[in-house]
Structure 1
Amino acid sequence: MFLHPWWLILLVLVPLVAWRRWSRRDQSTISYSSAAADWDERPTWRQRLAWVPTAMSLAALTLMIVSLARPRYGKEKTIVTSEGIAIEMVVDRSGSMQALDFKIDGQNVDRLTAIKNVASKFVLGNESETDKPSGRASDLVGLVTFAGYADAITPPTLDHAFLIAQLDNTRIVTDSDEDGTAIGDAISLAVDKLASLDNGETKSKQSKVIILLTDGENTAGEIEPQAAAELAKAMKVKIYTIGVGTKGQAPFPVRRTRSGQILVDYVNVTIDEETLTKIADETGGKYFRATDTDSLETIYDEIDQLEKTKIETQSFADYREMAVQTVRIDGTAIPPLLSIAFALITMAMALRRTVFRVFS
């Protein structure tokens, strides 16, 4: 690239000088008789190479003009440093998640399937829709699932493909002995996993966030949700709570016919929105209500905007002035352009005074 490219306009002078130089030399001819037409005198090597000193001078002139434009070679480097966020997704897989009140591509799906679909886009990003969450590439993301008790499925990790695979393998409980909604235990377990990022004397500066998705109220576990929220606050963990499901009645699968058709019945559903709101407020988070797939996507999009990864970009340029500095391009060292120009001028003058000297 050139720092002052307008100097390159002077390059139009080079062909003009060349034309004047050689046209003047061509006019220096001698008339001779037609009787000498058969004179078989071939030009000597000095005559054939008489143009070399002039060509050297023109090349030197070209290089000096280019040097005025200050050609520079190098690369502009950008260093991006990011301070990611540590996120624990806490997902309810209790029996009530079977409710078919969400839709994907026009088809009714259960609540857990809808969560899987939207959470995947939140973590990995949605390339086909630029207005949707762009992914959490720099963030550690973990997974805790719960029903009657809580399970730490995946610790906070950057291997998001593995995390989503584990989420996809999550199933709604079918055993009544495992069923229930242990919200407090799930929050406490997620806080413990986030706190483990502080290893010994090394304190993580990452923001720590829990995204809790549930469709019910706390009915199991040993720790009350409010106590778990106080623990999260003490550990500086922010909790976003999402109440999943329609209000009032929701369609539940009752049985499947021989033809494969699912029969549904409508049952009353209850979400403890008051407790979920208190949990969020206690920790500096926010409570959301997702009644369909679109609202769930909007919630994740809002959380994505609220919890931005800190990214610092530093740009610097490492340029060498080709006019006065040696540069290396693809392993080849190129001397300064002005040095080449002066060398050409010196050689042209030496040739004119010796090999191509004209005696008057």
Structure 2
Amino acid sequence: MLSLFHSPAYLWLLLLIPVLVWRRFLVFQDQGSIPFSNVDAAIQLPRTLRQRLIWLPDVLLLLALVGLIIALARPRDGRQRTVSSSEGIAIELVVDRSGSMQAMDFRIDGERVDRLRAIKNVVSEFVLGGDELEGRFNDLVGLATFAGYADAITPPTLDHGFLVAMLNQTQIVNQRTEDGTAIGDAIALATEKLNALDAREESKIKSKIIILLTDGESNAGSLEPIQAAELAETLGIKIYTIGVGTKGEAPFPVRDPFSGREVLRAMEVNIDEATLTAIAEKTGGKYFRATDTDSLEAIYREIDELEKTKVESKQFVEYRELAVEEYPTSWATLPPILSLVLCLLFLRVVLQTFWLRELT
């Protein structure tokens, strides 16, 4: 809060007030007196309330004059405001939840975890911020998942806490009929969600991107991945693709038929890197390969640097003119200074006219 005067030079006029007080109450106090030989009897007479308050109209006039001088100086209460405007980015996260995501080739704090859990951990930091990531606080972020079919989980939203909560609830498919890798359908669904933003948002989104994470080859869905990428390119949507998983073989949890315990068994894994690279290049994005948690975190840091939101902050000061505007406080609302001046003058006129009128 900034309190100041627009024209402080007028405050010099306050130096006249002591002069007026001196002239009115000290110099002319004997003006109009009548000589008496003995005033002892008059002094002993009780003074009436009117006699005690005969000075009040002059004091009210001086107070009104002080208020008028202060009003001329234009006291103002200033409050500094900051307005931030941003050219937002809309991001659609597309996460594979097919059965192959059960591979335990990632680690968090030294503990083996499946690929989906590692993705949840890194994506949460990408959205909310953490470690070396600032978070995407000014961006709309949506979530879609896919296995044998694509599913829209959340629309692009600024409620990132809700989005992360929905991501953490995502589970790897456990039904063979639902399994598969419908990359083309997933891209098409994400493209549709991002394209719908132009009709929903008041201001057009600066850029729209899809971040696709998968660990396999497209083997389900009705649309080919390249066809879906061409659709995204036509609508100006950029796609970053991330191939998740080690190369060659990866440990998968299986049930030992003899002991009944869950054990890890190495199985061959394949990622269609050629298709993922083509999708990214066609839309102006980039393909990444994440073979462990560290490389996955590094990929998201790079994407975070590539897709920066432009934020502009403007500062200005809002002024309240106290001479003509009310001033709210924690205990009361103070009236404008000129209103107080008028009230003082009105009170003086009333008192001097009907009760404290001086005899001439």
Same fold (TM over 0.5): yes
Of residues 57, 61, 67 in structure 2, which corresponds to 1:53?
57
Letter paired with 1:151: A
Aligned residue type for 1:154: I
Q: Give the counterpart letter for 2:242 in structure 1.
A: I
Aligned match of 1:170: 170
Q: Distance in 2 between matches of 1:292 and 1:351?
A: 90
What's the CA shift for 1:212?
A: 0.3
Tell me the alpha carbon deviations over residues 132-163 of structure 1, each in whole angstroms, 9 at most, x when there is no partner: 343456526241x223x222233624365554
Secondary structure in 1 aligned to 2:356?
Answer: coil
One-letter amino acid of the structure 1 residue matched with residue 70 of structure 2: V
Q: Which deviations, in whole Å up to 9, do the C-alpha atoms of 1:67-92 show, x marking residues without a partner?
A: 24312468777776766544332111
What pairs up with 1:118-129 in 2 under 5 angstroms? 118-123=122-127, 125-126=128-129, 129=130
- Match in the other structure for 1:93: 97
Alignment of 1:102-113 (within 5 A): 102-113=106-117
User: Hey, what's the Cα distance between the residues in 2 that align with 1:257 and 1:18?
Assistant: 108
Residues 11-30 of structure 1 show CA distances to partners (whole Å, capped at 9, x for unaligned) of 984895698579948x98xx
Structure 1 counterpart of 2:70, from 66, 70, 82: 66
**Corresponding letter in the other structure for 1:114:** A
Q: Which residue of 2 aligns with 1:4?
A: 6
Aligned partner of 1:32 in structure 2 is none
| Aligned residue identity for 1:56 | L
Contact 1:208-1:238 at 8 Å conserved across structures? yes
Using the alignment, how far apart are the partners of 2:202 and 2:348 within structure 1?
70
1:5-44 pair list within 5 angstroms: 6-7=8-9, 10=12, 13=15, 24=26, 40-44=44-48
Distance (whole Å) between structure 1 residues aligned to residue 260 and residue 322 of structure 2 = 76
Name the counterpart of 1:234. 234
Give CA deviations for 1:179-233 in whole Å, capped at 9, x if unaligned: 433323322333344445566xx99943432110012333444543223222221
* Aligned pairs (5 A) from 1:111-260: 111-123=115-127, 125-126=128-129, 129=130, 132-136=133-137, 139=140, 141-143=142-144, 145-147=145-147, 149-154=148-153, 156-158=155-157, 163-196=163-196, 205-206=204-205, 207-247=207-247, 249-255=249-255
One-letter code of the match for 1:64?
Answer: L
- Mapped contact 2:91–2:208 kept (Cα < 8 A): yes
Unaligned runs of 5+ in 1: 29-35
* TM-aligned CA distance change 1:21 to 1:135, over 3 Å: farther
Amino acid at match of 1:150: Y
Q: Does the aligned pair in 2 maintain the 1:185–1:223 contact within 8 Å?
A: yes
Shift in CA distance, 60/295, structure 1 to aligned 2, threshold 3 Å: farther
Amino acid at match of 1:180: G
Distance (whole Å) between structure 2 residues aligned to residue 17 and residue 60 of structure 1: 16
Distance apart, 1:308 and its partner CA = 4.8
Output the aligned Cα RMSD: 4.8
Amino acid at match of 2:135: S
Cα offset for 1:112?
0.6
* In 1, Cα distance between equivalents of 2:79 and 2:59: 33
Letter of the 1:355 counterpart: L
SS state at 2:172 partner: coil
CA distance in 1, matches of 2:67, 2:167: 64
With structure 2 as the length reference, what TM-score do the two structures score? 0.71
The gaps in structure 2 that reach 5 residues or longer are: 31-39
Q: Which amino acid aligns with 1:282?
A: K
CA offset at residue 51 of structure 1?
A: 3.8
Q: 1:230-257: per-residue Cα shift (whole Å, max 9, x none)?
A: 2221232211112223445544323489
The 1:204/1:54 distance shift into structure 2, 3 A limit, reads closer
1:156 partner amino acid: P
Distance 2:266 2:249 in 1: 6
- How far apart, CA to CA, are the structure 2 residues paired with 1:97 and 1:105? 19
3-state DSSP of counterpart to 1:173: coil
CA distance in 1, matches of 2:297, 2:8: 53
Decide which moves more: 253-262 or 207-216.
Answer: 253-262
User: Could you tell me the percent identity over the aligned residues?
Assistant: 51
Query: CA distance change for structure 1 residues 170 and 349 in 2, over 3 Å: closer, same or farther?
Result: closer
Structure 1 residue identity aligned to 2:239: I
- The offset of 1:305, in angstroms, is 4.8
The C-alpha deviation readout for 1:40-78, integer Å capped at 9, x for no partner, is 443332342244234324423432342243124687777
